[in-house]
């Protein structure tokens, strides 16, 4: 097992074929220096375990785990590097389950470098409990003993650089965290084949076991092959920068080849005036045909892009096309001298016409080449637009879900299955919360409807009660005029209280109050509580009585 840093941009230098006189060729691309750590484990049978990708950040987002071509496992750390917590979860959730079936109960050997997070107490105790023998490489020897460094990672760096360049060319934006998993997957699948894994074990003599492949000189400490001198006095910053550039420069075999060195035939006097970078220097490209490449103004329909090139040398005169009407009859010429001059004129015009035709042919070749380049550019632009449309559609469908960390009861390593399981639980929880909200809303609406019905019923009861009281008052007034004693008057009508009515309509047992009526009357539906008069107000008594 070993880990490596994977850049999200091509920041290195490569040797390419370029125009004459230009030492450096530039290519547009992402310049993000943030690295993503990948933990890779290879087995002696030629197989590879699931790689672990460690992003830098506080939370792991679901968008970062999309397009998982390599079937990787994901983790996050504040520094983007492995730590003791990731190491113990990795050996428990990745290495142990993946190698149990292969070992068939026999001890397993895990070879790692001497990083402090690999040999914590918890990692060693877990290894002893499940028959995992953990071996560490000697210090400063991984360049010869670590199979991943010797064989696999070199190819992976090349494939990773190629995958990043292809992504930037087709999408016209740098590799972001949500794009890294797909780019890494292409490089991983192309690099870690069965042949490369077996070659890694064979090159280091681990399997088949062959100690003779490691030579003694590979383990020898590096010898000092250069001597650095320094001035006794402290130098200024410009002098330090210049001396450092001369000391760190290492000429390549291309630069050392004598055939590539051309000495001038005569000494050339150098200018004593130092050329300074003036503010006008960066503006020079704005006057050329490629000014739009350096301009910070966005492209619009009015941007004057360069048109088709046309080769028209300034030293080629226009043919005298009037000579076409020259007579071919010898009798029209007076003497041979006149005919010779005319022939000379025709010859010059023919040579000019020939040159014009050659230029036209060269222009046609130039236009044909430009047409091919334009067609290739249009195809590339179509791919860019298509990728942007897919990216836009993918952003609409993405949930932007942040996966919980160890502090919330989860581990720091996530597999595809764990992410899907968490999303399923999250979706079920959201559906349950949505159903509960709907149920609460329905209950609230029903309660509002019952309240409206209660208020309507209470209003009807009060109207009937006021009408009964008015009739009772009129009856009492008539009885008073007839001289009937007050104790023989009918009782004043009563009505159910609003509290008891509310409890009755809600299905609760009513509590008897002073102005409530008996249960038998309520059960008969007489909510008004108006009692029958003991004396008939219409009949009355005679005066003799």
Question: Does 518 lie in the same domain as 454?
Answer: yes
Per-residue pLDDT tens, the chain, 545 aa: give them.
999 988 888 766 777 777 777 777 777 777 777 889 999 999 999 999 999 999 999 889 988 999 999 999 999 999 888 999 999 999 999 999 999 988 888 999 999 998 888 889 999 999 999 999 999 998 888 888 999 999 999 999 999 999 998 998 888 888 999 999 999 999 999 999 999 999 999 999 998 999 999 888 888 776 655 545 555 556 566 666 666 665 565 555 555 555 544 444 444 444 444 444 444 444 444 445 455 555 556 555 555 555 556 555 556 778 888 888 887 777 777 778 887 888 888 888 888 888 888 888 888 887 777 777 777 777 777 777 777 777 777 666 665 678 887 777 777 888 888 888 888 888 899 999 999 999 999 999 998 998 899 899 999 999 999 999 999 999 998 888 888 888 888 999 998 998 888 888 876 544 444 444 333 333 334 444 444 444 455 444 333 33
| Cα 116 to Cα 132: distance, rounded to the nearest angstrom | 18
Cα dist from 19 to 23, 210, 351, 377, whole Å: 9, 49, 34, 21
Domain count across the chain: 3
Question: Does 133 lie in the same domain as 72?
Answer: yes
| Cα 527 to Cα 456: distance, rounded to the nearest angstrom | 13
Does residue 86 sit within a domain? yes
Does residue 120 sit within a domain? yes
Helix (H) or strand (E) holding 482: none
Question: Does 172 lie in the same domain as 42?
Answer: yes
Domain residues for the domain of 512 are 444-523
- Look at residues 168, 192, 214 and tell me which one is the last residue of a structural domain: 214
- Look at residues 145, 180, 214 and tell me which one is the last residue of a structural domain: 214
Coil, strand or helix at 7: strand
Question: Does 198 lie in the same domain as 74?
Answer: yes
Question: Does 471 lie in the same domain as 387?
Answer: no
**Angle of CA points 126, 128, 134, to nearest 5°:** 90
- Paired tokens of 499: 């509290």
- Look at residues 214, 234, 263 and tell me which one is the last residue of a structural domain: 214
Question: Does 164 lie in the same domain as 64?
Answer: yes
């Amino acid at each position: 097992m070993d880990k490596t840093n994977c850049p999200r941009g091509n920041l290195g230098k490569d040797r390419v074929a370029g125009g004459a006189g230009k030492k450096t060729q530039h290519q547009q691309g992402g310049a993000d220096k943030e690295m993503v750590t990948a933990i890779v484990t290879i087995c002696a049978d030629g197989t590879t375990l699931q790689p672990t990708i460690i992003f830098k950040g506080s939370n792991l987002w679901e968008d970062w785990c999309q397009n998982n071509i390599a079937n990787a496992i994901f983790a996050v750390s504040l520094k983007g590097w492995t730590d003791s917590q990731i190491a113990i979860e990795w050996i428990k959730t990745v290495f142990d389950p993946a190698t149990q079936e292969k070992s068939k109960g026999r001890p397993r050997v895990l070879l790692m470098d001497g990083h402090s997070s690999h040999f914590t107490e918890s990692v060693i105790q877990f290894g002893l409990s499940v028959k995992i023998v953990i071996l560490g490489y000697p210090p400063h020897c991984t360049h010869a003993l670590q199979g991943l460094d010797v064989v696999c990672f070199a190819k992976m760096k090349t494939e990773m650089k190629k995958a990043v360049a292809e992504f930037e060319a087709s999408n016209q934006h740098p590799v972001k965290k949500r794009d890294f998993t797909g780019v890494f997957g292409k490089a991983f699948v192309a690099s870690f084949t069965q042949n490369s894994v077996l070659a890694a074990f064979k090159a280091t003599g681990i399997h088949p076991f062959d100690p003779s492949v490691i030579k003694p000189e590979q383990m020898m400490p590096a010898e000092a092959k250069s001597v650095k001198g320094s001035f006794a006095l402290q130098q200024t910053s410009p002098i330090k920068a210049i001396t450092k550039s001369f000391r760190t420069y290492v000429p390549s075999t291309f630069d050392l080849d004598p055939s590539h060195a051309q000495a001038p035939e005569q000494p050339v006097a150098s200018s004593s005036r130092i050329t300074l970078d003036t503010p006008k220097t960066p503006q020079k490209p704005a006057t050329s045909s490629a000014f739009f490449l350096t301009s910070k103004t966005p492209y619009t329909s009015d941007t004057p892009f360069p048109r088709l090139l046309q080769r028209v040398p300034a030293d080629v005169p226009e043919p005298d096309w009037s000579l076409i009407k020259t007579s071919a009859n010898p009798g029209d010429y007076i003497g041979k001298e006149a005919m010779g001059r005319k022939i000379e004129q025709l010859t010059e015009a023919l040579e000019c016409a020939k040159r014009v035709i050659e230029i036209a042919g060269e222009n046609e070749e130039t236009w044909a080449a430009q047409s091919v380049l334009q067609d290739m550019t249009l195809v590339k632009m179509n791919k860019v637009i298509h990728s942007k449309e897919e990216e836009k559609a993918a952003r609409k469908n993405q949930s932007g879900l942040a996966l919980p960390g160890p502090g919330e009861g989860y581990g720091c390593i996530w597999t595809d299955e764990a992410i899907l399981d968490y999303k399923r639980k999250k979706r079920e929880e959201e559906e349950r919360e949505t159903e509960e909200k709907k149920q609460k809303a329905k209950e609230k609406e029903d309660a509002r409807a019952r309240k409206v019905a209660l208020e309507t019923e209470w209003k009807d009861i009060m109207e009937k009660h006021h009408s009964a009281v008015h009739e009772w008052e009129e009856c009492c007034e008539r009885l008073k005029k007839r001289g009937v004693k007050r104790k023989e008057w009918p009782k004043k009508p009563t009505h159910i209280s609003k509290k008891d009515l509310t409890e009755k309509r809600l299905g609760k047992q009513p509590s008897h109050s002073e102005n409530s009526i008996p249960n038998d009357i309520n059960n008969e539906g007489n909510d008004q509580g108006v009692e029958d008069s003991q004396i008939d107000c219409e009949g009355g008594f005679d005066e003799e009585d």
